[in-house]
Amino acid sequence: MLEIQNLSKVYPDGTQALKNVSFTVEDGEFLVIIGLSGSGKSTLLRCINRLVDPTEGQILFDGKDVTAAEGTELRLIRRKIGMIFQHFNLVDRSNVLTNVLSGKLGYTNPWSSLMHRFPSESKEEALRALRKVGIEDQKNKRADELSGGQRQRVGIARALMQNPSMVLADEPVASLDPVLAHTILGYIEQLNQENHISVLCSLHYLDLVQRYATKVIGLKDGEIVYRGTREDIQSMTDEQFKEIYGEEAERVSAGTLSGGIH
């Protein structure tokens, strides 16, 4: 279970990215965060595994205080939280298998991992993870030889290697076309339902939100402006969605939005 209490983040340049954000994620939930770019979604996700240090507030992950954790303790927390990125963040020049295995770094003896040596169980696990996302045959290719969809599957396999109890997904399908978006979110949903991994995912197409989310929060200028259950989202209208996104959003992304709404 993840509990976030009064979380705020002010960047050194004075930008207030998060204001007093509080919410909880129960085990097994698929929580979707919606909001304009710049609304604080990425900062919020990165605060949870401390890629970004929050200014104020508390994050409790399975009862452990993430905000106070340092060093080894922080790394032990991080390895239970998988992360999937909009731009995949693979190491382009390493092959697919190495990229997946790097998900296991938190569990591996640091010295042997520096020599790129992993236990054989880890390698088998990596192959299983790749099979699960359907790209086992690509294991020896360099990451930059893959297509966008394949790369995100590697990202999922990497997160899977951590045996996470929670996965953070920062706009996981924003760089992909709509068909691939369903495939990728399908894999994430599979993790959520079969492995009982809770998911925190930021998205910005309403139909995707309606299809996958069990709970939604809306962020605007770093504040939570909307909380909804699965039922609330199903009945959500175009107008309500636009309200969260703000009036500017209407003009900029009207085409994309209407495409997603019908």
The smaller minimum CB distance to other proteins, of residues 63 and 71, is found at 71
Q: Residue type for 106, please?
A: G
Of 113 and 198, nearer to other proteins (C-beta) is 113
Q: Shortest approach of other proteins to residue 131 CB, angstroms?
A: 20
Sheet with strand 56-61: strands edge to edge: 16-25, 2-10, 56-61, 64-65
Question: CA torsion 169→175→180→182, rounded to 10°?
Answer: 40
Between CA 195 and CA 67 the distance in angstroms is 27
What is the rounded CA–CA span in Å between residue 152 and residue 5? 31
SS3 57: strand
Copy the structure tokens of residue 239.
């107008």
The nearer residue to other proteins, 155 or 260, going by C-beta atoms, is: 155
Least distance from C-beta 82 to other proteins, angstroms? 8
d(CA 41, CA 26): 19
Q: Among residues 162 and 210, whose Cβ is nearest to other proteins?
A: 162
Give 77 or 146: the residue with its C-beta nearer to other proteins. Answer: 77
- Residues in contact with other proteins by the rule CB under 8 A: 46, 49, 51, 75-83, 85, 87-94, 98, 102-107, 110, 113-114, 116, 155, 158, 161-162, 168
Query: At which residue do the structure tokens 């609330």 appear?
Result: 232
- Least distance in angstroms from the C-beta of 217 to other proteins: 21
* Min CB(49)–other proteins separation in Å: 5
CB of 233 to other proteins, least distance (A): 28
